[in-house]
Structure 1
């Protein structure tokens, strides 16, 4: 049912899709849909939660961090920044973002998703540059989030691009940011402050 709603929201928009259409497309009765989901916003929440689980590969990151595998953590960050989108994302994500601008419930769902992604990006950066100043780490985290969303937007806009070239650029950028964080570690800052 959620997959049927995903396709319909992408094709007809959030407001252009009714529960009856979702029922017809999924083969599930309207009454059953309302037993599982009180509103279309609850369907969006289920979509976002499922998509984030697929997108984040949380188990992969957790295992890489637990093993101290810097290369796997670095690969996870790169995948997050340039991950290929789902087939329907070019129509569905803009629809959800537009709905978030006018619907407080959908905006809250998107903020929760943003915070979930941020927690994982912060954990990855903490592993890659464990002693980085918190303000510097926050700056890099924000850049990563912005680049990730920018990459999604370019794909949604069907911008032709050399995605392999982009991956190389992102890899160099990530390595520069990790090196910058290593140069701004809390221990060195505290020692410099004590010497002054």
Structure 2
């Protein structure tokens, strides 16, 4: 029985490793070639994973993209760290977390992946659904972070508006990095940070 358990665990580990390798390979191809120019056959050739095995792991190319996005957002949001900072009342850590949403030093590959998704949402319903899921998750975490920094009983509508502002600016910064790769956005980033701090300080209290 113990031997069977060990064998199953080993198989699970190999399957996880194969899946991770496949996602990394697919991600690199999507960044280099775009979603339209990358098919499952190309992913199979580059990863060494047979097409049949890929379709046993994922029903479609969109499912591969969804898995990559899910993994990326886990590493980007650090939701557990945010929750701990809020529980500790560590306002500096919460503010730093918000700053990371507007990071200008993320790998350019991450920006290309995001702009590929944005380019697809108007013509691919599955990609639009993936994007909506990302936005809901980011927005929920961001609103929670802002509420922990806002004055007591701050107007929820203004918190929502500030969350929209930050998410819109974050998307704009991502697109700008692609359009002007190599440009220095440090001064722009600092100005955006000042605007966010001013908005937080001026949030009106709900009547």
**1:90 and 1:157 in contact (8 A); partners too:** no
Alignment of 1:109-188 (within 5 A): 109-129=130-150, 130-181=152-203, 184-186=204-206
1:82 shift after superposition: 2.3
1:90 shift after superposition: 4.2
How many Å separate the matches in 1 of 2:202 and 2:182?
31
Deviations 1:146-189 (A, max 9, x none): 111111111111255433323322321121011111xx112xx2
- Taking CA–CA contacts closer than 8 Å with sequence separation of 6 or more, which of the two structures ends up with the larger relative contact order? 1
**1:23 and 1:33 in contact (8 A); partners too:** yes
**1:78 and 1:170 in contact (8 A); partners too:** no
**1:89 and 1:156 in contact (8 A); partners too:** no
**What is the RMSD of the two structures over their aligned residues, measured on CA atoms?**
1.6
1:125 shift after superposition: 0.6
Partner of 1:24: 45
Q: Which runs of 5 or more structure 2 residues have no equivalent in the other structure? A: 1-21
**1:23 and 1:30 in contact (8 A); partners too:** yes
Using structure 1 for the length normalisation, give the TM-score: 0.88
1:84 shift after superposition: 2.7
Using structure 2 for the length normalisation, give the TM-score: 0.83
How many Å separate the matches in 1 of 2:116 and 2:165?
24
Q: Structure 2 vs 1, CA of residues 101 and 25 (structure 1 numbering), >3 Å: closer, same or farther? A: same
**1:78 and 1:167 in contact (8 A); partners too:** no
**1:100 and 1:106 in contact (8 A); partners too:** yes
Farther off after superposition, 166-175 or 117-126: 166-175
